[in-house]
Amino acid sequence: YSIMSSEIECYFETALELTKQAGKLIRDRISENKIVEIKSCDIDFVTETDKQVEKLLIDGLSKQFPAHRFIGEETASAGGQSSLTSAPTWIIDPVDGTLNFVHGFPHSCISIGLFIDCQPTLGIIYNPVLEQLFTAKKGQGAYYNGKRIHVSGQTDLTKAIVMMENGTSRDSERFNCLRANQEMLVPVIHGIRSLGSAALNMAMVAMGAAEAYFEFGIHIWDIAAGEIIVTEAGGVVCNPAGGPIDRMSRRVLCASSQALAEQLTQKLVQFYPTPRDD
Ligand code: IPD
Ligand code: CA
Ligand code: CA
Ligand code: CA
């Protein structure tokens, strides 16, 4: 696919407009009672809002761009497509941080990434509750509410804030791995944080508020927008064991510099989730 920058601009503006519309649903409902359905385990939730936001985005985008493909979390959960081809593909997490949304904890967002030829082309992360908008287009930098952002560039792990999550899983091996990494990191780094949203964790690394984030158990829709936002902000997104990211492996590491990513890949206790257990 050869794509002109005016086309990318059109994709971006269309997606942003729909994201703002869909964000209103999240903002209006976050403080209300929700009807919650359970997916893989007792903390893996989906609400009516997750489904409506995904439908609004996919309907709106497919109307404008009928040849494009879609990978959406709630459509994939219902047996929809979830493999990436070279065709322009929108990867959508309608509510990243559903557990936060259910509780009214104000860190939930819409995350949209567009891949063309399997390469990240644009990304939008929008938290409508706190009015935080993170965006990036290939080769054009990353932005927070319209202002250019950069990673901190920190290269020293002992001066880092590292973000990590257990995810929506009760798997005891995954939990043991998280605990082992906490025990390894807490005594040497500045601190550990988790926002309960993979996309917003990546946004914190992109804007230089945290130095790294890793998780074993994410899906492609959790990181599709964050990847380009972090790399356009000057950061690194890779395999937590080193080497290039495998977006279908359910594993991610992002960092404020290559040196920091390498210190983490050498130290992290690794975990390899199965393709679809949550
Ligand atoms: C989850 C959030 C959470 C992360 C999980 C994700 P969801 O996404 O990003 O922070 O730890 O791995 O599944 O289910 O709220 O869209
Ligand atoms: Ca989910
Ligand atoms: Ca998610
Ligand atoms: Ca979600």
Residue from 34, 71, 165 to probe ligand 1 pocket by mutation (most atoms less than 8 Å from CB): 165
Is 167 in the same domain as 44? no
Mean pLDDT of the 41-70 span: 97
Of ligand 1's listed atoms, the one at least distance from the Cα of 194 is 10
Give ipTM to 2 decimals.
Answer: 0.98
Residue 241, burial from CB neighbour count under 10 angstroms (0-12, 13-18, 19+) = middle
Give the Cα separation of 238 and 227 in Å (integer).
Answer: 9
Q: What share of the chain in percent tops pLDDT 70?
A: 98
Is 36 in the same domain as 79? yes
Residue where a domain stops, chosen among 100, 118, 149:
149
Ligand 1, atom 11: closest residue by C-alpha: 167
Of ligand 1's listed atoms, the one at least distance from the Cα of 218 is 12
For the Cβ of 217 lying below 6 angstroms from any atom of ligand 1, the answer is yes
pLDDT at 80 > cutoff 90: no
Query: 274: pLDDT confidence band, cut at 50, 70 and 90?
Result: confident
pLDDT at 74 > cutoff 70: yes
- What per-residue confidence (pLDDT) applies to 149? 99
- What per-residue confidence (pLDDT) applies to 76? 83
Q: What is the CATH number of the domain that holds 226?
A: 3.40.190.80
Ligand 1, atom 4: closest residue by C-alpha: 167
Is 278 within the bounds of a domain?
no
Report whether 8 contacts 121 (CB < 8 A): yes
| Ligand number, closest to the Cα atom of 221 | 3
- What per-residue confidence (pLDDT) applies to 278? 76
Is 257 within the bounds of a domain?
yes
SS3 per residue for the chain? CCCCHHHHHHHHHHHHHHHHHHHHHHHHHCCCCCCEEECCCCCCEEEHHHHHHHHHHHHHHHHHCCCCEEEEHHHHHCCCCCCCCCCCEEEEEEEECHHHHHHCCCCCEEEEEEEECCEEEEEEEEECCCCEEEEEECCCCEEECCEEECCCCCCCHHHCEEEECCCCCCCHHHHHHHHHHHHHHCCCCCEEECCCCHHHHHHHHHCCCCCEEEEECCCHHHHHHHHHHHHHCCCEEECCCCCECCCCCCEEEEECCHHHHHHHHHHCCCCCCCCCCC
Ligand 1, atom 2: closest residue by C-alpha: 197
Is 200 within the bounds of a domain?
yes
Is 112 in the same domain as 21? yes
Is 14 in the same domain as 144? yes
Please tell me the pTM assigned to this model.
Answer: 0.97
Is 139 in the same domain as 177? no
Mean pLDDT of the 118-147 span: 98
Residue where a domain stops, chosen among 119, 149, 179:
149
Is 23 within the bounds of a domain?
yes
Is 120 in the same domain as 203? no
Task: Determine which of 7-11, 76-80, 98-102, 245-249 has the lowest per-residue pLDDT on average.
Answer: 76-80
Q: Say how many residues make up the chain.
A: 278
Is 175 within the bounds of a domain?
yes
pLDDT at 79 > cutoff 90: no
Query: 49: pLDDT confidence band, cut at 50, 70 and 90?
Result: very high
Is 135 within the bounds of a domain?
yes
What is the count of structural domains for the chain? Answer: 2
- What per-residue confidence (pLDDT) applies to 25? 98
Is 142 in the same domain as 183? no
Helical packing angle, 220-232 and 198-206, nearest 10°: 10
- What per-residue confidence (pLDDT) applies to 2? 67
Is 210 in the same domain as 250? yes
- What per-residue confidence (pLDDT) applies to 276? 64
Quote the tokens at residue 201: 């964790």
Is 277 within the bounds of a domain?
no
For the Cβ of 74 lying below 6 angstroms from any atom of ligand 1, the answer is no
Of ligand 1's listed atoms, the one at least distance from the Cα of 198 is 9
pLDDT at 83 > cutoff 90: no
Task: Quick: pLDDT tens for 198-207.
Answer: 999 999 999 9
Is 272 within the bounds of a domain?
no
Give the Cα separation of 235 and 253 in Å (integer).
Answer: 11
Quote the tokens at residue 29: 């409902």
- What per-residue confidence (pLDDT) applies to 4? 83
Q: What is the CATH number of the domain that holds 70?
A: 3.30.540.10
Of ligand 1's listed atoms, the one at least distance from the Cα of 196 is 10
Mean pLDDT of the 175-180 span: 97
Is 105 in the same domain as 187? no
The Å distance, Cα 44 to ligand 2 centre, comes to 6
Residue where a domain stops, chosen among 129, 149, 169:
149
**Residues 261, 96, 143: CA angle, nearest 5 degrees:** 60
Query: 1: pLDDT confidence band, cut at 50, 70 and 90?
Result: low
- What per-residue confidence (pLDDT) applies to 277? 67
Structural domain boundaries enclosing 221: 157-267
**Residues 9, 13, 18: CA angle, nearest 5 degrees:** 150
Is 77 in the same domain as 96? yes
The Å distance, Cα 185 to ligand 3 centre, comes to 25
Is 144 in the same domain as 193? no
- Amino acid type, 256: S
For the Cβ of 94 lying below 6 angstroms from any atom of ligand 1, the answer is no
The Å distance, Cα 38 to ligand 2 centre, comes to 10
Is 41 in the same domain as 145? yes
Question: Regarding beta strands 119-127 and 109-116, do their DSSP bridges make them parallel or antiparallel, or are they unpaired?
Answer: antiparallel
Give the Cα separation of 219 and 230 in Å (integer).
Answer: 17
